[in-house]
Chains A and B, each alone.
Chain A
Amino acid sequence: MLKYIAKRFGQIFILFYVFLALLFLLLDLQPGDISQQFVGNPNIPPEAKEIMVRQLGLDQPKIVQLGNHLWNYSFGMDMGVSWSSYPREVSDILFSALPRTVFLFLTATVMSFWLGFYTGKLVAWRRGTFIEKSAMVTSIFFWTVFYPWFAILMLWFFASQLGWFPIGKFISVEKWIGAPYAADDVFMLMLGTIALVTLVYGVARYVIDRSSDDPQTRRNFHRLALWSLAGIAGAFWAFSARRTYAGDILWHTFVPVLTLTLVNFAGTTLLTRSSMLETLREDYILTARAKGVPERTIRDRHAARNAMLPVTTSLVLQLAVVIAGGVITEQIFSWPGLGRALLGAITAEDIPVAMGALALIGILSLLAHLVADITYAFLDPRIRVQG
């Protein structure tokens, strides 16, 4: 297992450098020179131009430039200085946007996977019924729906027609006037709470599974652990002075997360269904039926668990959909994340920020692939053993 993870990690590491080199190529191939943006200005005297070219390192041979590019991106965390909001550093702009994108991305991925797997399982189980047909039509609709359009309609419905949720953005500025906390700090604290709860719950599950053999007892203890942890976290926030501010942020996250989840769950549903249908034909399902295992157990334990493998593999391909959807969702809901930074930079011709945002989105996607691979190895013993 460790060997496999190390191998995948090495591959991802190499791919990351190839990706960064490709970004440099993209930068280099663009019409004109990157220096033309500054150097083309007739008001700047030629000596100043020369100094600029030297400072930007454009007089050096291409291979040295590529080396500098790779070095700065990986070790110095130096992506240059933004042109549209000079003199802010690109890394400063992007790293403040990163947590919000990661949050949107993670919640949407986890929720859509859970929802998709659950519906796919039920749909395959009830093949041929009206429920199956309507669920299939819904899934195909969400799978092929044009997100930007769907997101606009969601925004219109929830924010304008019902008026329950705000019209995009991350916070309602008027509520934060005179607030003693920075929005980013409150948000980071919220993310920290979620991460801590997940971590402790994972450890608790591990301990419970080791200490008990009875499935029913395990399930009860799992539930107990989850509810008590959620209770503690909830109480912490309810008595915290930051609760109104945290509530404001949560209120803003609802519609974007819902939209991204809805457009992403359908792929998992369709795949789980076909995978389940194949699993249900296996001999061991027949055996389980013959020995009188309850139908529910057959569905959830015998069939669904095995049907999960191909679905996890496809998670890798789904990631592209989540990332693309995330960029568009951020744009429509004015969610200040990486995707919005990327689009804003492209519109403002702020090349350093655009390249940095693309690189960060690339890293996110690489890491997500790594996690998906490890999960797959964890689920499928064959990969673990082979290394």
Chain B
Amino acid sequence: MADILTPPTERLDGFDPSAVLEEPLWRIRLRLSWRSFRKNWALFSDNKMGIVGILIIALFGIMALAHPVLMATVWQDHLEGGKNVYDIRAGADSIIVTKTIVEEVTDPVTQISQIEAMFLGTGVSIPEIGDTIEAPLANPAPPVLSGVDHPHILGTDPFGGDVFSQLLFGARAAFLLGAIAALSSVALATLVGTIAAYFGGVIDTLLMRLADLVILIPLLPLLIVVSGFWNVELTMLGILIGVLGGLGGTAIILKSQALSVKVKPFIDAARIAGGGHWRIITRHIIPNVLPLSFLYMMFAVTGAIFTEAALSFLGLLNIQQSWGIMINIAHTQGYTLEGLDVWWLMLPAGLSITLFSAGFFLVGRAMDEVVNPRLRKR
């Protein structure tokens, strides 16, 4: 009789599973999660696109890690006038090369026109055609140059900064922003979605109407206005995108998933066993919603990277360096209409943003097939 009268929670807490099990509990859990990981990996790797996505993300991961390593080792000693030429901020550099004075310039790397040479010369004499002169290589400097001592493997931007170093640093910024935005967005969406699904009623209505409102607000124009009024930095932008993204469409999708979990018998069982609201939400519903949350995390990264790059491209953010800023510099310095003639300004940054987004998008799609059995090939 006394056993029945004790509150059920106490009985649960007093229960020690290790007394009945032969192995420690953590080892069983590890084995189970390893098994489910292997099963899901088999499903995931069926989709070649997903593997391509993982490889792309790994490549950018290496790039992001490479920047501080290279700065500390190989690039450490490239000092020019007291500043490191690979520094993304202060690394403005103009390379001095020997150019031949000619009447008509066909190769701007090794030749210079008479008039330009006149402006460079310090003496009063007019430089003769055929003479050689020490002249700065143009900024932006193209990458591959034969016979020129040139420390920049991807050339320089219009201010003389090293494009390769900026590119690597951009990967760091992208990962940082993507992680902040995706984590905050998905954490919020999971919480909002499960709370709305679990409690229902007024809470559900309020949260879902809020989600409707957030979906309706045009995100990019709003962020343009916000970044015009405030001084928006990378972390703040990540949280802003995360909050606005997390309260909107993702919350609605995760709510419908949580609803389908809520009506399962094991939730009733947990209630009967005396589980509190919070315990049921965190231990029973959220673990079953998490796979879908991870999926939307991937898509959140794609959205965040795009938004950041668009805002930096428009020159509205207070960010040290990012891929969007690289394109912004090329655009505002007047290289828009030269397009691929200045490919080292256009291609690396633009392709990086596109590939980075594509990597996460592909992984997301492949995960979608794992999480969503209807999409699998039968």
Contact = CB atoms under 8 A, between A and B. Distances in A.
A346 B316 contact: yes
Interface string B297-316: 00000100010011001101
A324 B219 contact: yes
Contacts of A278: 374
B329 interface: no
A314 B106 CA distance: 54
B216 A369 contact: yes
Given A153-B340, A342-B224, A15 B212 contact: yes
Given A346-B316, A349-B228, A146 B358 contact: no
Interface string B341-378: 00000100110011001100110000000000011000
B339 A152 contact: yes
B336 interface: yes
Interface of A: 11, 15, 18-19, 22, 26, 30-31, 140-141, 143-150, 152-153, 155-157, 159-161, 167, 274, 278, 316-317, 320, 323-324, 327-328, 331-332, 339, 342-343, 346-347, 349, 354-355, 357-358, 361-362, 365-366, 369
Residue in B49, B212, B313, B362 whose Cβ sees the most chain A Cβ within 10 Å: B313
A187 B112 CA distance: 49
Interface in B211-261: 212-213, 215-222, 224-230, 249
Given A323-B221, A365-B216, A156 B354 contact: no
A26 B223 CA distance: 11
Interface of B: 49, 212-213, 215-222, 224-230, 249, 302, 306, 309-310, 313-314, 316, 324, 327, 331, 336-340, 346, 349-350, 353-354, 357-358, 361-362, 374-375
Contacts of A361: 218, 221
A108 to B, nearest CB: 15
A354 B354 contact: no
B174 to A, nearest CB: 12
A361 to B, nearest CB: 5
A347 B316 CA distance: 9
Residue in A15, A144, A339 whose Cβ sees the most chain B Cβ within 10 Å: A144
A327 B221 contact: yes
A72 to B, nearest CB: 18
Contacts of B331: 148, 152
B228 A161 contact: no
Nearest to B305: A146
16 contacts: A146-B353, A148-B310, A148-B314, A148-B324, A148-B327, A149-B327, A152-B346, A155-B336, A156-B336, A159-B337, A161-B339, A316-B215, A320-B220, A323-B218, A327-B220, A339-B221
Given A152-B336, A278-B374, A331-B314, A143 B361 contact: yes
Given A160-B337, A320-B215, 10 more contacts: A144-B302, A148-B324, A148-B331, A149-B349, A149-B353, A152-B327, A274-B375, A324-B310, A327-B221, A358-B225
A144 B354 contact: yes
A15 B375 CA distance: 35
A362 B213 CA distance: 11
